[in-house]
Amino acid sequence: MKWILCCLAGLALTNPGVKNPNPWEKVNEKKDLVIWNRAVPGSSVRELRAEAYVDFPVDKVWAVIDDIEKYTEFMPYIEQIKVVERAPDKVVAYHRFDAPLVAERDYTLTILSEADAEKKIYRRTWTATNDKGPKSVSGIVRVDICDGSWMLTADGPNRTRLEYFLHTHPGGSVPMWIANKANSISLPDMFRAIRNRTKDSKWTR
């Protein structure tokens, strides 16, 4: 039930939930990765925040995250990516993913990016805009809420700090306590996939 991975497609321009008055609660801490969540007013699904470090230059880590069309090669459960629209700082992309124990799910995201290669700061935000993508089809659950962001900054010449935010609803009849738990548990898999892709000598953009 790791539908969180489908929302990987972006990096942070601003922090979603910035007006949220609720405090962050630490839910998981491992080497180079800390995860928090907090209640969101008017929503039964909690917002997630994660901070991680990768021992590679920020430009290379950004290239991995920005390579949307190739997510099916290395990100777990993502079955299809289709770019609907592309502009210099904007991508509209359809995602379909197949996680264990639940029906396939899909949505279309509008992704906005901002890169400052000189200052080594890379930001992206995204939100679900299903009206810009394919119509829903029988047998695939349409996800209507998926808001999130990334921010990548250099922590030295060969180390990258990643900050991730997400608020998503998996759709369908999945109980919310399972959705919240699965979202938090899934994050280590997502960061592991990024690390493995970054150090893969066979990968080229």
Domains of the chain: 3-198 (3.30.530.20)
Q: What is the pLDDT along the chain (205 residues), one digit of tens a residue?
A: 444 444 544 433 334 445 788 999 998 898 889 999 998 888 878 899 999 999 999 999 999 999 999 999 998 889 999 999 999 999 999 999 887 667 789 999 999 999 999 999 999 999 999 999 999 999 999 999 999 999 999 999 999 999 999 988 777 666 665 555 665 567 888 899 999 999 998 888 7
Q: How far apart are CA 108 and CA 112, in angstroms?
A: 13
pLDDT of 130 reads 97
Nearest-CA neighbor of 11 among 155, 135, 115, 158? 115
- Are 37 and 49 spatial neighbours (Cβ–Cβ below 8 Å)? yes
The per-residue DSSP string of 83-152 comes to EEEEETTEEEEEEEE--TTS--EEEEEEEEEEEETTTTEEEEEEEE-GGGSPPP-TTSEEP-EEEEEEEE
**What are the C-alpha distances in Å from 148 to residues 12, 169, 173, 204?**
7, 12, 22, 26
Show Cβ contacts of residue 116 under 8 Å, excluding neighbours closer than 6 positions.
122
Q: How far apart are CA 155 and CA 143, in angstroms?
A: 35
- Are 130 and 114 spatial neighbours (Cβ–Cβ below 8 Å)? no
pLDDT of 13 reads 35
